[in-house]
Amino acid sequence: MLVASTILTCLTLAMALVVGRRVRVWLRFRGDSVVRCPENHRPAGVRVDAWHAPVKLRLTACSRWPAKAGCGQECLAEIAAAPEDCLVRNIAAKWYRGKRCAVCGIEIGASEWGPSQPAVILSDKNTVQWKEVSADVLTETLESALPVCFGCHMANRLVREHPELVTERNSPR
Which residues here bind Zn ion, judged by CB under 5 A?
A: 101, 103-104, 149, 152
Side chain identity, residue 94: K
CB of 161 to Zn ion, least distance (A): 18
Asked if 31 and 89 count as a contact pair (C-beta separation under 8 A), the reply is: yes
CB of 139 to Zn ion, least distance (A): 23
Asked if 28 and 51 count as a contact pair (C-beta separation under 8 A), the reply is: no
For Zn ion, which is the closer residue by CB, 102 or 137?
102
Asked if 127 and 120 count as a contact pair (C-beta separation under 8 A), the reply is: yes
Residues 79, 80, 83: CA angle, nearest 5 degrees:
55
For Zn ion, which is the closer residue by CB, 37 or 152?
152
CB of 17 to Zn ion, least distance (A): 46
For Zn ion, which is the closer residue by CB, 49 or 112?
112
